[in-house]
Chain A
Amino acid sequence: MLLMLVLIAMPAFTYSFAEKTVDPTGATTGTISDVTAKTAGQPTITEVAETAGHNKIAINMSWVLITGFLVMFMQVGFAMVEGGLTRAKNSAHTFAMNFLIYPLGMIGFFICGFAFMFGGVGPLGTLGGFDGLNHEFAINLFGHSFGLIGTKGFLLNNVYDVGVFALFLFQMVFMDTTATIPTGAMAERWKFSSFFIYGLAVGTIIYPIYGNWVWGGGWLSQLGHNFGLGHGHVDFAGSSVVHLTGGVLAFVGAKMLGPRLGKYNKDGSSNAIPGHNIPFAVLGSFVLAFGWFGFNAGSTLAGGDLRMSIVAVNTMIASATGALASTLYMWLFKTKKPDVSMMCNGLLAGLVAITAPCAFVTVQSAALIGLIAGILVIEVALFVENKLKVDDPVGAIAVHGANGLFGCLALGLFADGTYGDGLNGVAGGVKGLFYGDSGQFVAELIGVSANIIYVGILGWIVFKLINKIVGNRVSAEVELAGLDIPEMGAEGYSGMKMDKNAETPLSH
C-alpha cells in the first residue's frame, strides 16, 4: 500500500522539480537550453556553431548507418531468391552459401579489403573529416598519377575514428552484395570448400581493388581530373563496382563449372530446371527492393544531402518499369506466360541499372532506363543460356552483369548535369552524352571495360587456383543425389517428401 502511494506520488514529485514541463506535441522539445554551452541557456555563437556542425555530422552518420543496416538485410533477399530458384535437394547448400558469405566476406574486408579500397581515400567529408586514410599506392604514367590501391587501415588499425567505422560498415555490406551474386549462378554444383576460399578472395582482393579505382580515389575516378573525361568514371551506388563485378565473377565461375547435369541435351537445346520455391523468389525480390533504398539513397553518404529523395524515387520508378517490361516481354513475345521468376529478375534488373545513374538522371530517364533493363535482362538471360551455353540457375549474369554494365553507360548518356558539382575534383554537374558531355560517356566506357578485364582475369585466376587446391565442382553422384547431405550433412527439408528423380531432367 505504501509502495503504491510512493509510485503514484513520484511522477508529480519529479515534475515539480523538472526544468521543463511535459511536451505531448513535441513543439517545444529541443531549445536553446539543449545547445551545449558553458552558461546553460546562453550559448556563444561558437558554441551554437559547434552544435550545428556536430548535428550535421550526426545526421549524416545516422543516415549512413541506417541505410547500411538496410543493405545488410539484402543478404536475406539474395538468400531467398537464389534458394527459391534452385532445387529442394540443394537447398541447405544454397542457403548456407548465402549465409556464410556474410561472415566470410566481412572478415576478408576487415583484414585487408577495406584498407585496399579506402586506404587512400583522403578526408571523409560528410563523416567528420578524419584524414587518416591517406595513403594510395600509385604509379606515374603519361605524366599523371594512377592510384591503384590503398594502404592504410588494415584490420581497422590506427583509424580509431567514428567516421571511418561508419564508412566501414556501409562499404562492408556493399562488398557482401557483390560476394553473394556468384553463389546464385554457380549454385547446385559448386563444392562448398571451393566456395569458402572464394568468399575470402572476393572480400580481400577482387572487390576492393576495383572499388579503390572508382570510390577510393583510384585512377578511374581521376579520369576527369587528369584527362578531362567528364567527372571520371562515376558510379553513384555501384552498378559497376558492386553489380558488374559480381556479374563478371558469376559468368567466369559458372562458365568454368559447366552446366548442371541434365541442363543441356545432345543437340544443344536446354531443359527447364524449375526452382523449388517461387514464393521465396518473389519475397526475396521484395526484400531486395526494400534494401535497395538503403543501397542507392544511402550512397549520398550524407543525411543532409537532400538529393536523396530524388535518388529514392528514381530507384523505385526504375524497378517498376523493369518489372513491368520483363513481365510483358515474356507474356507477349516469349513464352506467352507472365513468367514469375523473370518478373522478379526484371524488377532487380531495373534496380541494378539505376544504381549508377540514380542521383544524376531525371525521373523520366529513370523510367526509360528501367524499361530497357527489363527487356535487356531477358534477352541476355536467354542469350547466356541458349547461345553461350552457360548455365545460370537464377539469372545473376543477366541481372547484375548485363545491367550493371548498362547502368554505367546509362549514366554516361542520361546524366542531366544538375548534380555532382565537385565530384572527383571536377567542377559542374555530371552531364551525359545526351546533355552534351561525350567525355563522361567515354569515362563510363573505360570504367566498365576496366572492370570486365580486371575482374574477368583475376576471377579466372582465382577460380583456377582454387580448382587446383580443392576442386571447384562436386562429383556427378553428389550432384544427382543433391548437395545437401554429401556436402552439408543435413537436408534442407528433412522429413519432407521429395522427388529427386523428377528434379533432374534427363538429357536426350
Chain B
Amino acid sequence: MKKIEAIIRTSKFEELKRALREIGIEFFSYWDATGVGNEIKKGELAYRGTVYDTSFIPRQLLTIVVRDQNLKKTIDCIRKTARTGVIGDGKIFVTEVLESYRIRNDDEGDASLHNIGEE
C-alpha cells in the first residue's frame, strides 16, 4: 500500500477528480492548501493605489492511499491531467503505508482499500 500526496493547481482539481474516477480511483481526501513556492506573479494584485504580491499560493492537496498495483496508473493520471508546463504545477510524494483498516467491518490491508468485486 502506498500513500500518494499530490499538490496541484486549484484550477485542475475538478478535471483530475474526473480522470481519477475514470481509472477507478474513487476514494481520496483533499484539502485547501496554502504554500510558498517558485510561482512569481508581479503586479497581480492592486488595492487603492498599491500594487502588491502575496507570498500565499493557493493549491489543492490530495491524499490518496492505493494498493501497489494501482500506484503507477494513479501517478501517470495525475501528471497527465494536472500538468500545464508552467511553474507552479505542483508535486507528488509517495510514501509506504504500513497498515490499513476499514472501520465498518474487519477488512484489513488491501481489502480495506477497495470493495470486493470492484476494481
Contact = CB atoms under 8 A, between A and B. Distances in A.
Nearest to B48: A341
B56 A272 contact: no
A479 interface: no
A342 B46 CA distance: 11
Contacts of B45: 272, 274
A274 B47 contact: yes
A275 to B, nearest CB: 8
Contacts of A341: 47-48
The bracket for how many chain A residues form the interface is: 10 to 19
Nearest to B45: A272
B51 A335 contact: yes
A382 interface: yes
B49 interface: yes
Interface in B46-100: 46-52, 54, 56
A270 B52 CA distance: 10
B46 A382 contact: no
A274 B49 CA distance: 11
A341 B45 CA distance: 13
- What is the predominant secondary structure among interface residues of chain A facing chain B? loop
Nearest to A330: B49
Contacts of B43: 335-336
A264 to B, nearest CB: 11
Interface residues of B, number: 11
Contacts of A342: 48-49
Contact of A270 (B50, B54, B56): B50
Residue in A335, A341, A395 whose Cβ sees the most chain B Cβ within 10 Å: A335
Contacts of B49: 330, 334-335, 339, 342, 378, 381-382, 385
A336 B46 CA distance: 9
A502 interface: yes
A501 B51 CA distance: 20
Interface in A327-358: 330, 334-337, 339, 341-342
A381 B48 contact: yes
A507 interface: no
A270 B50 CA distance: 8
Interface string A305-337: 000000000000000000000000010001111
B56 A502 contact: yes
A339 B56 contact: no
A63 B47 CA distance: 40
Nearest to B32: A497
Nearest to B50: A272
A496 to B, nearest CB: 14
Contacts of A330: 49
A103 B46 CA distance: 37
A364 interface: no
A335 B56 contact: no
A339 to B, nearest CB: 6
B93 to A, nearest CB: 25
B46 A271 contact: no
B52 to A, nearest CB: 5
A271 B52 CA distance: 8
Given A342-B48, A342-B49, 12 more contacts: A271-B50, A273-B47, A335-B43, A335-B50, A335-B51, A337-B46, A339-B46, A339-B47, A341-B48, A378-B49, A381-B48, A382-B49
- Report, nearest first, the 6 A-B pairs whose CB atoms are least far apart: A335-B46, A272-B47, A272-B50, A337-B46, A274-B47, A272-B52
20 contacts: A271-B50, A272-B45, A272-B46, A272-B48, A272-B50, A272-B52, A330-B49, A334-B49, A335-B43, A336-B46, A337-B46, A339-B46, A339-B47, A339-B49, A341-B48, A342-B48, A342-B49, A385-B49, A502-B54, A502-B56
